[in-house]
Structure 1
Amino acid sequence: MTPSHNVRIGVQIAPQHALYPKIRETVAEIEELGVDIAFNWDHFYPLSGEPDGLHFESWTMLAAWAEQTSRIQIGALVNCNSYRNADLQADMARTIDHISAQGGEGRFIFGTGSGWFERDYDEYGYEFGTPGQRLDKLAENLPRIEERWAKLNPAPTRDIPVLIGGGGEKKTLRIVARHADIWHSFSDAATLEHKLGVLRGWCDEIGRDPAEIEISTELRNRSEEEADELYALGARLFTVGITGPDHDLTPVRRWLAWRDSKNQ
């Protein structure tokens, strides 16, 4: 499962602990640096630091990024499938795809997952259920999303890439095999090697070439040597997380240099 495409670096700008002008400025900076993808996350409250600190909503922010930028791809890492009707998600994704196109192809990546942060559900009135129920709903909604994309007028500017996050072997990786263009996990090398074997099994079951799926993982607290191991296993999208209030870009520059060394 070794893809032919080059290494890409995504930066997840956590939409917490900073006012929007700082977030907008950071998006401009990482695009200027040559980052490949700008991600946020789909939550309603901070995941670290002060639990009631500054925080903004994901999709409205992504639409603003689509208008602000011209080259960098954009998406959530990841959207929570539970928070919005499936057909609405498809329409929002299509709309942001067009906003980001600016005369060419869109730059939106539909990153999605089943959801997990219970406070979001409780505070906003969504039914939390069980992990299995939330995954079943994701499996149910993805075909609806794909069907809605085929019906919308105007249609998306291209086949919107679907990124699915999570590493569950019985349900999540089965969904990945059927629907994902990109699979994102937090795996170390040993875990990734094992889970890639599971993913190959699910792909074989439906007759899909697993090489069609780009492998994505995060770089938090990793060394270049550890990243090299993930690269050797086929990972090509690597994500770096930054958060407010400072949005330190030092790790971003470090990993861009590593990316460029791989893509020579």
Structure 2
Amino acid sequence: MLTDTPVRLGVQLHPQHTTAQHMRDAVMRCEDLGVDIVFNWDHFYPLYGEPDGEHFESWTLLAAWAEQTERVELGALVNCNSYRNPDLQADMARTIDHISAKGGEGRFIFGTGSGWFERDYDEYGYDFGTVGSRLDDLAEALPRIEARWAKLNPAPTRDIPVLIGGKGEQKTLKLVAKHADVWHSFVKPEEIAHKVSVIDAWGEKVGRDTSNIVVSNELARADDEKADAYYDAGVRMFTLGLNGPDYDMVQVSRWLAWRDAKNS
């Protein structure tokens, strides 16, 4: 677990109940305020509110945000592995990496997971399978993605960071140990030490040093006391979800001040 690193704040702009212009404006406000990462999510329908409300697709938004911005990193929290061929995912990630580079290294973070929202699958014609089969598919996809990154011309501008979300100890945390640079979850502060020990144990079994994995968690329902508890437990990437259409930045400013205090 990497704790000798600054606290970073990622804002997840929920791509629902909003317009492309509202999202475009919100991305720029995040960049101007000093947010470290801007995320969306990879779904086809709203996750709450009016179920048939406005909604936009993840990867095309990320490409637009990569062109629009200069500094913030960006990615999905998280991509659904089921919706796209693994080699295509790798190529899309590499392309957004280059779009975002602006003369330096790219800013794309490959956040990924196995998928869970059944309506997406049913409406778009994907096989929903089971929790286990979707995780098995992700396990098969990640080596293909990494292999494709090694073959692409031009290559990615950097080793694209991989973020994996979830907490299951038999499959998900094994994938974290094998492939992830960032582990994201919603577990409680008191659970983190145990989960990290599971990741480390898997790292020993698969032959990978897991000490540099950054631990990430969510701030949406946290107060300062809980955020401090997450920090004390080793969390160094914090995410804050915002719903449209207006994407209120008051909480963003509040948590940026907390971040800066921790990093001072």
- TM-score bracket relative to the smaller structure: over 0.9
Structure 1 consecutive aligned stretches of length 4 or more whose deviation exceeds 4 Å: none
Q: Deviations over 1:69-108 (max 9, x none)?
A: 0000000000000000000000000000000001100000
Moved more, 191-200 or 50-59: 191-200
1:32 counterpart letter in structure 2:
D
1:199 counterpart letter in structure 2:
I
Moved more, 203-212 or 87-96: 203-212
Looking at structure 2, the residues matched to 159 and 259 of structure 1 have their Cα atoms a distance apart, in angstroms, of 26
Looking at structure 2, the residues matched to 94 and 210 of structure 1 have their Cα atoms a distance apart, in angstroms, of 24
Alpha-carbon distance, 1:227 to partner: 1.1
Counterpart residue number, 1:82? 82
| 1:159 is aligned to 2:171 | no
Counterpart residue number, 2:3? 3
Counterpart residue number, 2:170? 170
Counterpart residue number, 1:113? 113
Alpha-carbon distance, 1:194 to partner: 2.0
Looking at structure 1, the residues matched to 223 and 207 of structure 2 have their Cα atoms a distance apart, in angstroms, of 36
Q: Where does structure 1 lack aligned partners over 5 or more consecutive residues?
A: none
| 1:179 is aligned to 2:179 | yes
Q: Where does structure 2 lack aligned partners over 5 or more consecutive residues?
A: none
1:260 counterpart letter in structure 2:
D
Looking at structure 1, the residues matched to 107 and 220 of structure 2 have their Cα atoms a distance apart, in angstroms, of 25
Counterpart residue number, 2:149? 149
* Partner-residue secondary structure (3-state), 1:109: strand
2:231 counterpart letter in structure 1:
Y
* Partner-residue secondary structure (3-state), 1:210: coil
Looking at structure 2, the residues matched to 157 and 114 of structure 1 have their Cα atoms a distance apart, in angstroms, of 26
* Contact 1:2–1:233 (8 Å) recurs in 2: no
User: How many residues are paired up?
Assistant: 264
Alpha-carbon distance, 1:3 to partner: 2.3
Alpha-carbon distance, 1:193 to partner: 2.2
Looking at structure 2, the residues matched to 48 and 24 of structure 1 have their Cα atoms a distance apart, in angstroms, of 21
1:16 counterpart letter in structure 2:
Q
Looking at structure 2, the residues matched to 8 and 207 of structure 1 have their Cα atoms a distance apart, in angstroms, of 28
Counterpart residue number, 2:230? 230
Looking at structure 1, the residues matched to 211 and 144 of structure 2 have their Cα atoms a distance apart, in angstroms, of 25
Alpha-carbon distance, 1:207 to partner: 3.1
* Partner-residue secondary structure (3-state), 1:54: coil
Moved more, 204-213 or 88-97: 204-213
TM-score by length of 1: 0.98
Q: Deviations over 1:137-178 (max 9, x none)?
A: 000000000000000000000100000011111000000000
Counterpart residue number, 2:44? 44
Counterpart residue number, 2:129? 129
Alpha-carbon distance, 1:210 to partner: 2.3
Alpha-carbon distance, 1:250 to partner: 1.2
| 1:91 is aligned to 2:96 | no
Looking at structure 1, the residues matched to 191 and 126 of structure 2 have their Cα atoms a distance apart, in angstroms, of 32
Counterpart residue number, 1:209? 209
2:119 counterpart letter in structure 1:
R
Looking at structure 2, the residues matched to 197 and 87 of structure 1 have their Cα atoms a distance apart, in angstroms, of 32
Give the root-mean-square deviation of aligned CA atoms: 0.8
2:9 counterpart letter in structure 1:
I
TM-score by length of 2: 0.98
* Contact 1:8–1:36 (8 Å) recurs in 2: yes
Counterpart residue number, 1:60? 60
2:161 counterpart letter in structure 1:
P
Q: Deviations over 1:167-221 (max 9, x none)?
A: 1110000000000000100011122222112112111222333221010000121
Moved more, 186-195 or 169-178: 186-195
| 1:70 is aligned to 2:64 | no
Looking at structure 1, the residues matched to 5 and 209 of structure 2 have their Cα atoms a distance apart, in angstroms, of 15
Counterpart residue number, 2:30? 30
Looking at structure 1, the residues matched to 64 and 31 of structure 2 have their Cα atoms a distance apart, in angstroms, of 14
Alpha-carbon distance, 1:2 to partner: 4.1
Counterpart residue number, 1:194? 194
Alpha-carbon distance, 1:230 to partner: 1.1
